Structure 1
Amino acid sequence: MNTPRIGLKASCVVGFDGARHVLWRDGEVVIEGSRVLFVGRGFPGPVDEWIDYGNALLGPGFIDLDALGDLDSTVLCLDNGDERGMGRMWSEEYLRRGPRESYSFEEEVFKYRYAFTQLIRNGITTAMPITSMYYREWAETFDEFAAVAGVAGELGLRTYLGPCYMSGMQYLTADGSLAEHWDEPRGLAGLAAAERFFREFDGAHGGLIRGALLPDRIQTCTPALLHRTAALSRELAAPVRLHCCQGRDEVALVKQLRGKAPLAWLEQLQLLGPRAVLPHGIHIEGDDDLARLAGSGASLVHCPVVFARDGEALDSFGRYRARGVNFALGTDTWPADLLDNMRQGLNIARIQEGGSEGSSALDFYNAATLGGAKALGRDDLGRLASGAKADITVFSLDGLHLGPLFDPLKNLILAGRGDDCVASWIDGRCVMQHGQVQGVDYPALRRQAQAQFHKLMQSHAERAVGRSDWRGLFQPAIPFADAWSVERPLCTLASQPDQ
């Protein structure tokens, strides 16, 4: 049977001329199977079906290399004081009792279904997910990721997956100081599970699922764990994502434990190279470290929104780019909106750089597309050109909030939001049309997420110092006026029995 050709039209189409994105007015994209056949105007051949999206920007799908795969707990921490005391870090007492899972196996898998739906809904077509470990017994498992791969394949999301692994974590002692707990065998067992997942699932679901090595954070991994990770990455040609240079405490701890700053230590371990995908890089140790990073070919995953919430920012997006650092983008938090990260990232960069010359709107759009593709070693993603993967997003330009149109990309970055995305095609399959992710019951998804989030809130009391009543750990921005709401912070859960 012949593969049908599908033609997509829109008032604006972002093509790729071999070196850069270019904008076609009243453009067309023709896809055949999983690939783009044509971008431009006036396709000369036969097309089985044309879909006209009208006044819209049709462009390459976004690539999110620190994509939230969780029910995010940021709303619990916002303006709520030191999060270490609210159960987002293990207490010494909790560690002594023996950590446990906060969710069931089915709930662990559900959180990915919820998160992946959000990613697609916001125009993200390729994701490397991230979740928190603080509410886990330890780290992630092979079995749950076998199920997660099935969810990604069902929804049609292109993902780079693997169970997160670690050999230690910090905990809060009774006197309020921090200490480290290490379990080297458990870390190495986690790496073995990650290798098994890679060998069994890399290329699954028609190539939508790709394997990746995803150690937790640089300060939670021992030298043996990272040394073996580096060797396995070379053997499998696997990308390695490792969170590093994201906090002053992390940098100080790595220096104390390993005798070097994070990037110098990664270089010593032979982990600092083109396959290294590094969120967040906001605490780089001067020009020497910047030169080390740029010369290595490693990519930084920039997540401006999540750090701005805590008053932190990358030193200079523009200066790092000028030195040759490749940037990808990530969300790392809720909402899964890369347009918001582009907008806030651009504004933050200009404040940090003291002007508008060093960073442009296009720089951030490139990071969300071409930069992410480069970080993954893919020249068939992040662009619309003949032969590229048919990963396509359609952003409506009809929203009143977008204002009068001049340049659709500038309008979207200045005023757009993720849910302006009305359609998404991944690997040539329409996974979302008219804002509806195929096969997903939005109200049912939200109800289950809300109930599961309630369970997560309750679990904080087990980890908090003193095992406080969970109701007192989180405070609303405006105090509740009635006693019932004080007893039950989540008003939408009024019909649920107390637990």
Structure 2
Amino acid sequence: MPTSHAMPPLGVRPRGRSLLTADWLLAHDGFSHVFHRNGELVIEGQRVLYAGPKFPGEVARRLDFGAALISPGLIDLDALSDLDTYTLVLDNQPGWSRGRTLPETYLRRGPYEMYAPEELAFQKRYAFATLLLNGITTALPIASLYYREWAETVEEFDAAADAAKDLGLRVFLGPAYRSGGTYVDGSGAFQMQFDEARGFQGLGDAIEFIRRRAGDGGGLVNGLLAPDRVETNTAALMRATMAAAENLDVPVRLHMAQGKLELQMMQRLHGRTAAEWLVGLGAFNHRLIAPHGTHATASDIGLYAEHGVTLAHSPLVSARMGSVLNSFAAIRARGVNIGMATDTAPPDMWMNMLMGLSACRIAEGRSDAAFSADFFEAATLGGARALHRPDLGRLSPGALADIAVFRLDDPHMTPTVDPITTLALGGNGKVTEAVFVDGRLSMYRGRVAGFDMAQARVRAQAQFDGLIAKYPDRSFSHPPVEQLFRPSFPLR
């Protein structure tokens, strides 16, 4: 049969062999990523058949992307799956008084869900689509619990699993749970409230969800235990979580070492850092993925390395909060596996790589402390190591066909010498041309399979506007919205 040059339909895994070619191919030779000029990638079904110079066999179709890089899809270990509320406090500080920490008065009245179930389901679908637009093929979704009654629900995660299957995104899913939460009392002091029974109920719900949904979509849906933030969990819940993770063979994501408030609260509650506390519980091991690490001590980092814990690095979010990892290069040199994460909108991994590179060089005070390739490796192979999935994060025979194609024909990125350096320095997620996940075309030129992005953007904005109107309920002293969120310049 003749070879086709037509792009397959969105959402379809085409029959037969598909050959992808471009000016640059980033393959994996069994040891590291390697470039091929005008290389060829052949996929068949869900997997990569060949990655290298000219393919000698027959193919059903040839897809030539021209001035572009064919790359392994990016892995996001902390991918936002709701509408980013941090945008409200970027220039409205302090954030704790503007809904980032719930006031005692709100808790006494009774916290409530600020989004309807159908709104939460839509947000997962919308967020997953934006991940694909940015070349992310594997994601561990994260959402804020600030506007929740207590924790995430199985219902919304069933909707998330369905969205991942429909859109074609590989996900590691499990509803977040906790046994406590931070609040601010009438004097402005931070306090904790605990309800361990609710924490164990959340863990039970997550286990049930994973047993029922893991493996759906031919392997697109995978399990994850997500016990929110370290200070919001009791020792009993953390021990039970790690035991369940072993039984289910799934990763655990736990936010820790991410801010001064957490450090102070861990000292108040346990008299030690998060890492020290978890080691003492026997709950610090290779299954743990720990965002963000900017407030980890040198001793903590030693424990990360000793126990095989992965650090999920979100340099853009950390820098916006006034902190940096100290440092990416130093932590990596100590043997800690580092993966990348976006944790914000837009989920632009290239922007995070540039911020991470800049922050590392500033922290180290030298321009050769780290290089673009180090951060790209973290965004691919580092994420795959965190998930114990050698079939992800690389383009080599037998690997899953999770592929991102990034354009290099943007005038702002010309001339191109090394495509990774060029994309890190001058690119962003908007240059993502195409994304294949599990061998199917999930995104092409801004279009996502089965999803109207323009219509969805309007719906997302309307939902966010509705949330903003409720912020006085959940903010300290309950001022009106106009006082909570002021425009950058006076509005006339």
TM-score interval w.r.t. the shorter chain?
over 0.9
1:179 paired to 2:185: no
1:354 paired to 2:365: yes
The answer for the alignment partner of 1:461 in structure 2 is 472
Aligned-partner Cα distance in 2 for 1:74–1:233: 30
1:242 paired to 2:254: yes
Within 5 Å, give how 1:427-442 maps onto structure 2: 427-442=438-453
Q: Which amino acid aligns with 1:177?
A: A
Q: Any stretches of 5+ residues in structure 1 without a counterpart?
A: 482-499
The alignment's TM-score, normalised by the length of structure 1, stands at 0.95
Q: Displacement of 1:356 after TM fit?
A: 2.1
Give the 3-state SS of the residue equivalent to 2:296 in structure 1: coil
From 10, 28, 47, the counterpart of 2:22: 10
Aligned-partner Cα distance in 1 for 2:349–2:93: 27
Q: Displacement of 1:126 after TM fit?
A: 0.2
The answer for the alignment partner of 1:423 in structure 2 is 434
Aligned-partner Cα distance in 2 for 1:324–1:358: 16
Aligned-partner Cα distance in 1 for 2:144–2:111: 15
From 55, 60, 65, the counterpart of 2:72: 60
Q: Is this contact kept in 1: 2:71–2:395, CA < 8 A?
A: yes
Q: Any stretches of 5+ residues in structure 2 without a counterpart?
A: 1-13
Q: Is this contact kept in 1: 2:177–2:202, CA < 8 A?
A: yes
Q: Displacement of 1:143 after TM fit?
A: 1.4
Q: Is this contact kept in 2: 1:391–1:427, CA < 8 A?
A: yes
Q: Is this contact kept in 2: 1:171–1:180, CA < 8 A?
A: yes
Give the 3-state SS of the residue equivalent to 1:59 in structure 2: strand
Aligned-partner Cα distance in 2 for 1:466–1:258: 30
Aligned-partner Cα distance in 2 for 1:152–1:269: 35
Within 5 Å, give how 1:226-237 maps onto structure 2: 226-237=238-249
The answer for the alignment partner of 2:295 in structure 1 is 283
Q: Which amino acid aligns with 1:355?
A: R
Q: Displacement of 1:3 after TM fit?
A: 4.5
Aligned-partner Cα distance in 2 for 1:377–1:464: 41
1:69 paired to 2:75: no
1:224-265 deviation line (CA, Å, top 9, x unaligned): 111100111111111000000111221221122123211011
Aligned-partner Cα distance in 2 for 1:251–1:465: 22
The answer for the alignment partner of 1:378 in structure 2 is 389
The answer for the alignment partner of 2:5 in structure 1 is none
Q: Which amino acid aligns with 2:113?
A: E
1:159-210 deviation line (CA, Å, top 9, x unaligned): 0000000011111111111111111111110000010011111111110000
Q: Which amino acid aligns with 1:134?
A: Y
1:85 paired to 2:122: no
1:161 paired to 2:173: yes
For structure 1, which segment, 398-407 or 16-25, has the greater mean C-alpha deviation from structure 2 after superposition?
A: 398-407
From 113, 116, 124, the counterpart of 1:104: 116
1:18-57 deviation line (CA, Å, top 9, x unaligned): 0100000001100000000000122111101111111100
Q: Is this contact kept in 2: 1:7–1:28, CA < 8 A?
A: yes
Q: Which amino acid aligns with 1:445?
A: A
1:125-183 deviation line (CA, Å, top 9, x unaligned): 00001110010011001111111100111000000000000011111111111111111
The answer for the alignment partner of 1:293 in structure 2 is 304
Q: Percent identity over the alignment?
A: 47
Root-mean-square deviation (Å)? 1.1
Q: Which amino acid aligns with 1:383?
A: R
Give the 3-state SS of the residue equivalent to 1:95 in structure 2: helix
Q: Displacement of 1:440 after TM fit?
A: 1.6
Q: Is this contact kept in 1: 2:166–2:449, CA < 8 A?
A: no
Q: Which amino acid aligns with 1:479?
A: P
The answer for the alignment partner of 1:124 in structure 2 is 136
The answer for the alignment partner of 1:170 in structure 2 is 182
Within 5 Å, give how 1:262-273 maps onto structure 2: 262-273=274-285
The answer for the alignment partner of 1:485 in structure 2 is none
Q: Which amino acid aligns with 1:285?
A: T
From 226, 229, 239, the counterpart of 1:217: 229
Q: Which portions of structure 1, spanning 4 or more consecutive aligned residues, are displaced by more than 4 angstroms?
A: none
Q: Is this contact kept in 1: 2:73–2:403, CA < 8 A?
A: yes
Give the 3-state SS of the residue equivalent to 1:196 in structure 2: helix
Aligned-partner Cα distance in 1 for 2:48–2:144: 36
Aligned-partner Cα distance in 1 for 2:333–2:384: 19
Q: Is this contact kept in 1: 2:72–2:393, CA < 8 A?
A: yes
Q: Which amino acid aligns with 1:128?
A: L
The answer for the alignment partner of 1:363 in structure 2 is 374
1:291-344 deviation line (CA, Å, top 9, x unaligned): 211111110000000011122101111111111110000001111000000011
Give the 3-state SS of the residue equivalent to 1:205 in structure 2: helix
1:94-119 deviation line (CA, Å, top 9, x unaligned): 10010000000000111111111110
Count of residue pairs the alignment pairs up: 479
Q: Which amino acid aligns with 2:324?
A: A
From 33, 40, 43, the counterpart of 1:21: 33
Aligned-partner Cα distance in 1 for 2:482–2:183: 22
Q: Displacement of 1:347 after TM fit?
A: 0.6
For structure 1, which segment, 103-112 or 431-440, has the greater mean C-alpha deviation from structure 2 after superposition?
A: 431-440
The answer for the alignment partner of 1:336 in structure 2 is 347
Aligned-partner Cα distance in 2 for 1:327–1:354: 21
Aligned-partner Cα distance in 1 for 2:94–2:455: 34
Aligned-partner Cα distance in 1 for 2:101–2:295: 22
Give the 3-state SS of the residue equivalent to 1:422 in structure 2: strand
Give the 3-state SS of the residue equivalent to 2:24 in structure 1: strand
Q: Is this contact kept in 2: 1:88–1:460, CA < 8 A?
A: no
Q: Displacement of 1:86 after TM fit?
A: 1.4
Q: Is this contact kept in 1: 2:26–2:69, CA < 8 A?
A: yes
Aligned-partner Cα distance in 2 for 1:106–1:96: 27
The alignment's TM-score, normalised by the length of structure 2, stands at 0.96
The answer for the alignment partner of 1:391 in structure 2 is 402
Q: Is this contact kept in 2: 1:213–1:233, CA < 8 A?
A: yes
Q: Which amino acid aligns with 1:459?
A: K
From 312, 319, 324, the counterpart of 1:313: 324
Aligned-partner Cα distance in 2 for 1:56–1:352: 33
The answer for the alignment partner of 1:486 in structure 2 is none
Aligned-partner Cα distance in 1 for 2:318–2:327: 14
1:250-292 deviation line (CA, Å, top 9, x unaligned): 1221122123211011112222111110001111222x32221
Aligned-partner Cα distance in 1 for 2:225–2:64: 40
